[in-house]
Structure 1
Amino acid sequence: MEVPIREPLKRKRYERKLRDLHAELVKLQEWAKHTGAKVCIVFEGRDGAGKGGCIKALTERVSPRVFRVVALPPPTEREKSQMYIQRYLPHLPAAGEIVIFDRSWYNRAGVERVMGFCSEDQVRNFLEIVPSVEKAIVGSGTILLKYWLEVGQKEQTKRMEERITDPRKIWKLSPMDLESYSRWYDYSRARDEMFQKTDTAWARWYAVHSDDKRAARLDVISHILASIPYEAPEREKIKLPKRQKPGGYEEADFARNWIPQVA
């Protein structure tokens, strides 16, 4: 499907819309706490597609105790001997939690397959069983949302070059990223088969065109909010209490080591 070209989203409009969405995310958070809802959100996509920025925009105004971000390191030797998806299961949400996977069990269908870290038999086995696992997750009462962020070749090149030259972004660049950059069409084929085998009625894939990072963040957050039947719980009126009287207390020079004021 050809993606319609949009005018780049201006910062002021983006910040205004994001502020409104943040208010709704707080309502979602309070609803999840109040009802014991369980929500699992999976973020996948090409390198440089903006997953990290999207997750940051999603979580920057909510509680990390409710919105938990899971970004697992490479598996240990013990974990390599387990059933593949096993190490992800303990991180699934309990009641009142919204868990966000910054990459997930779909590593097997993507980076591990393309980079040769697993066999084709292992990939086929994964693609065969994962719909059943996700059906069990949804059957347990968890709302499962899966997002794939897709960036164009030209924009990906621009972002990768920024990771080379911008000292704030060099930590984002690894030898793996450079290797994956060269294998664009291998990733395209792996993505296509992953969609074909794991886009199910109970756990759909939602694709996000992310050449415009700001627009993509608003699109994702809006879709999450539209996909969850939340309602803001009623709040009691809150009034700040009066402070206690000093009772003879005098402010002491309690700190010897104030940091320098540089701003």
Structure 2
Amino acid sequence: MTETLDGFSPAELERIRIRQEIIDDLDEEFELELEEGDADGNASEYSSSFRKTYFSELVRLQGELVKLQDWVKETGYKVVVLFEGRDAAGKGGVIKRITQRLNPRICRVVALPAPTDRERTQWYFQRYVANLPAAGEMVLFDRSWYNRAGVERVMNFCSDEEYEEFFRSVPEFERMLVRSGIKLVKYWFSITDDEQEARFKARIEDPLKQWKLSPMDLESRKRWEAYTKAKEIMLERSSIPEAPWWVVQAVDKKRARLNCINHLLQQVPYQTISRPEVVLPPRVYHEDYERQPTPENMIIPELY
């Protein structure tokens, strides 16, 4: 058996290289989890004790999400998932974990900014309709048309008439989506008053997260009770059999992510899609091919 200078055969080196690639992927998971620790990235005692279970389950669930993605593409199924909740409730965290290993051409995230002056004159749902999935696609809305029932209501960005018209329209709008073949899943991420305050304070202290705190977020702290009332009305008036609201208990971020992903997988009747075995074709060599050196002034400094 041919050996390399390192004492490993080419086949062994290839296995080592593949394993290193897998470890690199897990390192990405760890980087995402630094937000759970202190300023030095040291996990709390609780986080350390639960970390092994969390990561093993997360990787397993992400494997199921890949199967779901393949099934959606193969069957032409259409999925829309809405993520709603108070600021700092953890919506972005679960969206990151859902999409982390998926194809962005199949599963995409929509996070619309405030409407433009022109959009404010359109049918309220119009800009959301433009982002709905085609066959074989999944769309995750990081906040959705329910802005009208939440922030717009609390901050007086809409009139009473517009607010009431929203609740008259949204059940029929969502029934139309379902009748058209879209699977619509709606999640509300629920946290306590104390937990939101703690997360806001952590963002103030963390220079990497201060950008997440907008003036609107700070204003929402003063209007906690108004947001609570708006949320209760929203859940009562817009949860329909065709598209019910599902509440995610989100004070514990890790458990909320696992519970939400597990529940989402149960909402779609996906199956494993059989795939032909992938065989890597041999590299084609040409005698007249000569690779040209890269100019030194184009190479970035190797500081690491």
Fold-level similarity (TM above 0.5): yes
The aligned residue for residue 250 of structure 2 is 210
How far apart, in 1, do the equivalents of 2:79 and 2:290 lie?
50
Q: What letter is aligned with 2:301?
A: P
Structure of higher RCO (CA pairs closer than 8 Å, 6+ residues apart): 1
- After TM superposition, list the pairs within 5 Å mapping 1:171-250 onto structure 2: 171-247=211-287, 249-250=289-290
Find out whether 1:137 has 2:177 as its counterpart.
yes
TM-score, structure 1 length as denominator?
0.94
The aligned residue for residue 3 of structure 1 is none
- After TM superposition, list the pairs within 5 Å mapping 1:56-95 onto structure 2: 56-95=96-135
Match of 1:116 among 147, 150, 156: 156
Q: What letter is aligned with 2:299?
A: W
Moved more, 81-90 or 54-63: 81-90
Shift of 1:78: 1.1
Q: What value does the CA root-mean-square deviation take over the aligned residues?
A: 1.4
Find out whether 1:55 has 2:90 as its counterpart.
no
The aligned residue for residue 302 of structure 2 is 261
Give 3-state SS (helix, strand or coil) of 1:228's partner. coil
Q: What letter is aligned with 1:215?
A: R
Match of 2:200 among 142, 150, 160: 160
Q: What letter is aligned with 2:149?
A: A
User: Residues 43-75 of structure 1, C-alpha deviation per residue, up to 9 Å, x if partnerless?
Assistant: 000111011111111101001111111111111
Shift of 1:248: 5.1
Greater Cα radius of gyration, structure 1 or 2: 2
TM-score, structure 2 length as denominator?
0.82
User: CA separation of 1:150/1:233 partners in 2, compared to 1, >3 Å: closer, same or farther?
Assistant: same
How far apart, in 1, do the equivalents of 2:271 and 2:191 lie?
33
Moved more, 78-87 or 137-146: 78-87
User: Residues 71-115 of structure 1, C-alpha deviation per residue, up to 9 Å, x if partnerless?
Assistant: 111111111111211211111111000001000000000000001
Structure 1 moving runs of 4+ over 6 Å: none
How far apart, in 2, do the equivalents of 1:238 and 1:101 lie?
34
Give 3-state SS (helix, strand or coil) of 2:303's partner. coil
Moved more, 215-224 or 243-252: 243-252
Shift of 1:125: 1.2
Shift of 1:249: 3.9
User: Residues 106-150 of structure 1, C-alpha deviation per residue, up to 9 Å, x if partnerless?
Assistant: 000000000111112211110121001000000001000000001
How far apart, in 2, do the equivalents of 1:241 and 1:128 lie?
58
Give 3-state SS (helix, strand or coil) of 2:125's partner. helix
Q: Percent identity?
A: 50
Which consecutive unaligned segments of at least 5 residues does structure 1 have? 1-6
Give 3-state SS (helix, strand or coil) of 2:234's partner. helix
For this pair of structures, how many residues does the alignment match? Answer: 257
